[in-house]
Amino acid sequence: MSARARIVGWMLAVVGLALAVSIFATWTVLLARLDVRMNLEFTNEAEKLRRYAATAHDPHTGRPVSDVRELLTGYLAINSPDRWETFFSMVDGRADRITAVTPPARLDTDGDLIKVLAAATEPAYGDTESVEGTVRYAVIPVRVAADPRTGHFVAAVFYDRHRGEIVDAVRVLGLSALAALGLAGAAGWFVAGRVLAPVRLVSQTAEQISDSADLTRRLKVTGDDDVAALAATFNHMLDRLERSFAVQRTFVDDAGHELRTPITVIRGHLELMGDDPDERAETLALVTDELDRMNRIVDDLLTLAKAEQPGFLAVEEVELADLTVSVVAKARPLGDRRWRVDQVAEARVQADRQRLTQALMQLVVNAVRHTMDDDLIAVGSALRDGRAELWVRDSGPGVAPADRERIFRRFVRGSGRTGAHDGAGLGLAIVRSIAEAHGGGVRVADVPAGGACFVMTLPLART
């Protein structure tokens, strides 16, 4: 069963239960009120009869009524029953008079009921059955001092007729509830479809992506509810997947591109290697050098691949002054150069110390490759315009303006290198990846006195 059907089903179950409870409560309350209303009606009739008996006079003599039959007949003449009610009188155990309003059923002709009513010596209430269903009655004994006969006033209410009205009302209420439930189901189905549309789109997009290599599809995010949050999360996941697949493809392409040459060189020399020990030693040295170069290429490619993934940086608090001085100390054995610390920034940044050291050392190695003995290589750090800057500059031939952006791409080598110093062209790409992972960047700055100056910029606070 689909989520849409489950949602609508549960909604209809809850609404149906609520309607059923409300209808049952209405039924119970109406029946209880009917009983109360009938009891009040009987009490009211008894009170009216008392008041009439206390004030009734014979119209011919003007004296109080002394005949019980005349008293009851006079009361019936002035007191008309309400709908589905009937009044009648009894004298000496026999039915006497009945109201002029024709009742749904004649009770004064029921001999068994008359016997029960005639036996009442005080006001009593009861139920009886008739052709019109249950009848609720009240019998009130009446005596007149001057008349030895016993009279009874009987008020009866056709209970089933009143109950039938309640049944009809509850039936209409139930039918209305069913209609409302149907409308609620239709509206709920429509609304659930609209609300779950992004979820279905997520499912369809995921299915399409699983059947193809296209990771560029995205969901349209509208609103700020939970479904919109789901769509945004799904888009973020697709972003990461797309980046991961792109990194994977780039890694495979780069590895195939760069490792093909040393493998070809190694295979060619091994195929041509003869039995001469000197030739074997020379070939072994060349193969070892190529294998070392392959190892460096693989390490660099892995670094570039990791730079695109979460967890690439182990962030801590780094003192820029200590970092600057330590890089110069580590760089001195790389070559006979004039090493210098230009400037140190007395500040701390949230960064990965090992990655920053790796980037600066790569820039230093790059500077060594492009300088000669006794040339200047300087390292420095400073705070400028709310950002931290780390740089490595040298007094070498510098970088042509046309190459200043291009050299940071993968497998791009700048001009001015000698064959002995050729690398894979990944060093500056690694520097750029490390800088961008910190939220900064790297550029080649102008040096009026000549040479090259590579500047890394870092934010003082990472967001």
User: What is the per-residue pLDDT across 380-419, written as a single tens digit (0 to 9) for each?
Assistant: 999 998 899 999 999 988 888 888 888 888 767 665 544 4
**For position 261, what pLDDT does the model report?**
61
Residue 80: is its pLDDT beyond 80?
yes
Higher-confidence residue: 231 or 336? 336
Please give the average per-residue pLDDT across 227-232, as a whole number. 77
Which residue's entry shows tokens 């970088």? Answer: 399
**For position 313, what pLDDT does the model report?**
85
**For position 455, what pLDDT does the model report?**
95
Q: How far is 127 from 108, CA to CA, in rounded Å?
A: 14
Return the number of other C-beta atoms located less than 10 Å from residue 326's C-beta.
15
| CA dihedral sign, ordered 435, 415, 444, 372 | positive
Beta bridge partners of 457: 389, 441
**For position 256, what pLDDT does the model report?**
63
**For position 270, what pLDDT does the model report?**
76
Task: Give percent above pLDDT 70 in the chain.
Answer: 88
**For position 450, what pLDDT does the model report?**
83
**For position 420, what pLDDT does the model report?**
43
**For position 421, what pLDDT does the model report?**
44
**For position 263, what pLDDT does the model report?**
74
CA-atom Rg of the chain in angstroms: 53
Most confident of 100-104, 151-155, 242-246, 309-313: 151-155
Q: In which band, very low, low, confident or very high, does the pLDDT at 254 lie, cut at 50, 70 and 90?
A: low
Q: In which band, very low, low, confident or very high, does the pLDDT at 211 lie, cut at 50, 70 and 90?
A: low
The per-residue DSSP string of 367-401 comes to HHHT--TT-EEEEEEEEETTEEEEEEEESSS---G
Higher-confidence residue: 421 or 244? 244
Q: How far is 444 from 448, CA to CA, in rounded Å?
A: 13
Please check whether residue 452 is in contact with residue 391, taking contact to mean a CB–CB distance below 8 angstroms.
Answer: no
How do beta strands 376-384 and 338-341 pair? parallel
Q: In which band, very low, low, confident or very high, does the pLDDT at 86 lie, cut at 50, 70 and 90?
A: very high
Least confident window among 118-132, 133-147, 235-249, 326-340: 235-249
Please give the average per-residue pLDDT across 410-431, as a whole number. 64
Least confident window among 9-13, 34-38, 141-145, 297-301: 297-301
Residue 324: is its pLDDT beyond 60?
yes
For residue 138, count CB atoms less than 10 angstroms from its CB and return exposed for 0-12, middle for 13-18, buried for 19 or more: buried
| Distance from chain centroid for Cα 403 | 51
Element (H, E) at 326: helix 320-331
Tens digit of each residue's pLDDT (9 = 90 or more) over 53-62: 888 887 777 7
Could you tell me the domains of the chain? 3-165 (3.30.450), 226-306 (1.10.287.130), 316-459 (3.30.565.10)
Mean of the per-residue pLDDT values of the chain: 85
Residue 17: is its pLDDT beyond 60?
yes
Q: How far is 190 from 184, CA to CA, in rounded Å?
A: 10
The per-residue DSSP string of 116-127 comes to HHHT-SS-EEEE
**For position 247, what pLDDT does the model report?**
65
Higher-confidence residue: 308 or 8? 8
Task: Give percent above pLDDT 90 in the chain.
Answer: 47
Higher-confidence residue: 344 or 249? 344
Residue 305: is its pLDDT beyond 90?
no
Tens digit of each residue's pLDDT (9 = 90 or more) over 271-296: 777 777 877 787 788 778 777 767 77
Q: How far is 327 from 322, CA to CA, in rounded Å?
A: 9
- 29, 113, 168 from 162: Cα distances, Å: 14, 21, 10
Q: How far is 141 from 149, CA to CA, in rounded Å?
A: 11
